Structure 1
């Protein structure tokens, strides 16, 4: 019985370990789905899936507190999914993510 209560208590605390995301999207001319993920160890990730018929060029900027923002670029082909990650050396309380996508120029 005691084990059951301890397990229930741990399950209630588990969501507090992850950090919240604030996402700002500026997607022009492409059909991109954005999903955020907390990978633990102060690492955040964004999954980008291209539902359109043209390739997309995306820039993802991660901000966590007063530190230097981390930018990542990704080219997502039609029907493909790409994962973009950023890790920080300090405790992440809240992750702010800016996603900007537009049609890719040129062929790969």
Structure 2
């Protein structure tokens, strides 16, 4: 089964970001405590998802939705989305499957 994590990121303050953002790199999906298998290239095809490599100028107050797609077991009882900055503690969102 595929699980697509949609994360909305907002540039809160500071000058415009002129390089591509790697904020999406911190997203992972877990099922029943096990990391799923990332499906490279699948996220850009999901409805409502932006390609982070197309965002080359990100102004203060602007938001973008970046997604990550993972394969997880269809019979998983719980799904978690983890997001963390490099070497940071993750934020975790938990969802029942089904």
TM-score range, shorter chain: 0.3 to 0.5
Higher relative contact order (CA 8 A, sep 6+): 2
Greater C-alpha Rg? 1
Give the TM-score normalised by the residue count of structure 1.
0.39
More helix by share: 1
More strand by share: 1
